[in-house]
Amino acid sequence: MLCDVCKKNEATIHIKEMHGGETHTANLCAACASEKEKNGELSALGFNLAEMLCNLGKISSSVKPPQEAPAGAATVCPKCGWTIDKVRNFGGRLGCPHCYTTFAPMLAEAIKNVHRGSVHLGKRPQSVPQDGRAALEAELDNRRHELDALVKREEYEEAAVCRDRINQLKTQLEGLATGEVGND
């Protein structure tokens, strides 16, 4: 797939945004993504490529291998043989589905930073029961991260709206704790 901007290089970065129920996709090569990041276009989306890659490196190097691994040994996926170093060298791509389990402690924080949370808040099949408290807590956590990002970008009006939503969520959670039912 070619880059949407330059139409020359292979797209290696794929960004999906949701706006009012519509999905917008941007497929970028590394050079165009870097240029858009310098112009502030990616950070306006809440996406900082350099920070994400830097965090992946910091997180994965700071996390110790699981207890059962001998000291100094690299964690290796038992299915494909990839190590965390190989994952880092391939820009966070994993070798197989089993890598998600093997490298979960190293990937959890990076995924949380990239996706503004680690709990899915999107649509679910109607057959799956929804735990209202868990959904509220997850949204509260995501809104807190969003508030921090808005304040860092000095977008104070949007931060105030976000703060108000956080207060509403806290009130709803307190209502659930006391047995009151209210979805205002």
CA dihedral 101, 1, 5, 110 (to 10 degrees): 0
Q: What is the pLDDT of residue 17?
A: 74
Q: What angle do CA 11, 114, 33 make, to 5 degrees?
A: 30
Q: What is the pLDDT of residue 147?
A: 92
Q: Can you give the pLDDT of all 184 residues of the chain as single tens digits?
A: 899 999 999 988 887 777 677 777 888 888 888 787 777 666 555 555 555 555 555 544 444 443 333 344 457 888 899 888 887 777 777 888 888 888 777 777 666 666 655 556 566 666 655 567 777 888 888 899 899 989 999 999 999 999 999 999 999 888 877 765 554 4
Please check whether residue 24 is in contact with residue 45, taking contact to mean a CB–CB distance below 8 angstroms: no
For residue 68, give both structure tokens.
């059962």
pTM over 0.85: no
How many Cβ atoms sit within 10 Å of the Cβ of residue 94? Answer: 17
